[in-house]
């Protein structure tokens, strides 16, 4: 009897020490509810992370694969950082068991494959998702778009997609992120804003588009940005090209100054003569679009005259070649005439057969 009691106590002690203990190569602080396994060359998520953990940092390691089994029993984790690893694939439901998760940092990884429900969290509690420099290349963006739609991220408030080499945004990519307040897209290679690039972002308060490849934002993009009336915008460090076509954008900038955080700092990058000119001072007069109209007319006239001369010259050469070939051509024409005659006679003969009532009757009765 005593033996049994002793054993139970021993077991309880052992269990207790397992739960209270800290995984190898990690530092645990029960008082701060924090576990850190930072730059320890780990190849996988360690087991035995204590249940009290709220802040879990497994950063700067060599982890390449993670799955739902890595995060069993971690009900209290609210902040999880897996940044600076080598994670290349995210399975569906990987984080689903983390029922208190509010902030997930996957920055500086190499995500090439993202499954549709990769970011699903059981309690739909996720508020912050950091995918800065996290995608392997632009090709992952379709996977990303699907998982942002399928992962029930209605509570997400902040999404960081900076430094990812994105070339375009798939239509409706953010349309299920109805609670999003802050969207970071800086340092990508976005060349345009299209219809529905930002649809669904009704509560967006801040949109960062700095360091992209926007040469201008044409009407379609301006309409899209106007569909986010509450959002402050950042547009700096784009290669704005100040030629005549940029007028609508320049006028829009002047009109929307109030909500463009860096409006005063926006400058033309091209053409060279306009470099560093403030976008707010770019107008019809500075660009000289209307004066250049007369110049264009003159250029057009000159090009017509040139075209006429070239065509005349080609015609002369053609006539000359005809003249040189006149014997051959005459023979060809005779041949052609003979051929036509044969064809015509053949046709005429067949026509007579077709119009012969006896023969056509034979045909119709045969059809029946």
Ligand X SMILES: *[C@@H]1O[C@H](CO)[C@@H](O)[C@H](O)[C@H]1NC(C)=O
Which residues have a Cβ under 8 Å from the Cβ of 295 and sit 6 or more positions away?
none
How many CA within 13 A on the CB side of residue 140?
21
* Greatest alpha-carbon span in the chain: 129
Under the binding rule (CB under 6 A), the answer on residue 158 touching ligand X is yes
How far is residue 135's CA from residue 217's CA, in Å, rounded to a whole number? 26
Under the binding rule (CB under 6 A), the answer on residue 195 touching ligand X is yes
Under the binding rule (CB under 6 A), the answer on residue 88 touching ligand X is no
Under the binding rule (CB under 6 A), the answer on residue 152 touching ligand X is no
Under the binding rule (CB under 6 A), the answer on residue 76 touching ligand X is yes
- Taking CB under 6 A as the criterion, the residue among 91, 128, 205, 232 binding ligand X is 128
Cα distances from 228 to residues 154, 233, 242, 260, 363, in angstroms, run: 17, 10, 25, 12, 74
Under the binding rule (CB under 6 A), the answer on residue 51 touching ligand X is yes
Q: Where are the alpha helices (DSSP H) in the chain?
A: 2-20, 141-150, 219-226, 247-256, 284-287, 291-324, 326-355, 357-367
Under the binding rule (CB under 6 A), the answer on residue 160 touching ligand X is yes
Q: How far is the CB of 184 from ligand X (least distance, A)?
A: 6
How far is residue 151's CA from residue 58's CA, in Å, rounded to a whole number? 23
Tracing tokens 């960081």 back to the chain, one arrives at 160
Q: Which of positions 90-109 make contact with ligand X (CB under 6 A)?
A: 99-100, 102-103, 105, 107-108
How far is residue 346's CA from residue 340's CA, in Å, rounded to a whole number? 10
> In this structure, what DSSP letter does residue 71 have?
G
Under the binding rule (CB under 6 A), the answer on residue 151 touching ligand X is no
- Taking CB under 6 A as the criterion, the residue among 138, 172, 176, 203 binding ligand X is 138
Candidate segments 22-30, 50-58, 62-70, 322-330, binder of ligand X by CB under 6 A: 50-58
Under the binding rule (CB under 6 A), the answer on residue 275 touching ligand X is yes
Under the binding rule (CB under 6 A), the answer on residue 127 touching ligand X is yes
Q: Which residues bind ligand X (CB under 6 A)?
A: 51-52, 55, 73, 75-76, 79, 83, 99-100, 102-103, 105, 107-108, 123, 125, 127-128, 130, 132, 136-139, 158, 160, 163, 165, 187, 195, 211, 220, 254, 275-276, 283
């Amino acid at each position: 009897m005593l033996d049994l009691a002793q054993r139970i106590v021993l077991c309880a002690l052992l269990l207790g020490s397992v739960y209270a203990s800290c995984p190898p190569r990690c530092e645990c602080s029960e008082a701060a509810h924090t576990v850190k396994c930072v730059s320890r060359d780990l190849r996988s998520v360690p087991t035995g992370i204590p249940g009290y953990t709220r802040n879990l940092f497994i950063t700067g390691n060599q982890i390449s694969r993670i799955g739902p089994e890595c995060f069993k029993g971690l009900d209290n984790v609210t902040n999880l950082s897996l940044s600076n690893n080598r994670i290349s694939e995210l399975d569906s439901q990987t984080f689903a068991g983390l029922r208190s998760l509010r902030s997930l940092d996957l920055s500086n990884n190499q995500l090439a494959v993202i499954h549709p429900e990769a970011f699903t969290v059981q309690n739909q509690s996720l508020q912050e998702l950091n995918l800065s420099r996290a995608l392997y290349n632009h090709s992952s963006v379709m996977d990303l778009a699907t998982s942002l739609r399928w992962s029930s991220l209605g509570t997400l408030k902040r999404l960081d997609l900076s430094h990812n080499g994105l070339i375009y945004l798939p239509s409706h990519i953010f349309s299920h992120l109805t609670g999003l307040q802050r969207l970071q897209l800086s340092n990508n290679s976005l060349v345009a804003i299209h219809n529905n690039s930002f649809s669904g972002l009704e509560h967006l308060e801040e949109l960062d588009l700095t360091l992209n490849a926007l040469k201008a934002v044409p009407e379609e993009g301006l309409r899209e940005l106007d569909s986010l009336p509450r959002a402050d915008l950042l547009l700096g460090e784009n290669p704005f090209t100040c030629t005549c076509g940029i007028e609508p954008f320049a006028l829009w900038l002047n009109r929307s100054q109030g909500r463009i955080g860096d409006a005063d700092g926006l400058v033309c990058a091209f053409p060279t003569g306009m470099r560093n000119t403030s976008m707010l001072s770019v107008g019809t007069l500075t660009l000289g679009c209307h004066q250049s109209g007369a110049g264009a007319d003159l250029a057009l006239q000159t090009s017509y005259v040139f075209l006429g001369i070239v065509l005349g010259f080609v015609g002369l050469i053609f006539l000359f070649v005809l003249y040189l070939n006149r014997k051959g051509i005459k023979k060809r024409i005779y041949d052609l005439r003979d051929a036509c005659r044969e064809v015509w006679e053949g046709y005429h003969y067949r026509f007579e057969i077709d119009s012969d009532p006896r023969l056509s009757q034979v045909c119709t009765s045969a059809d029946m």
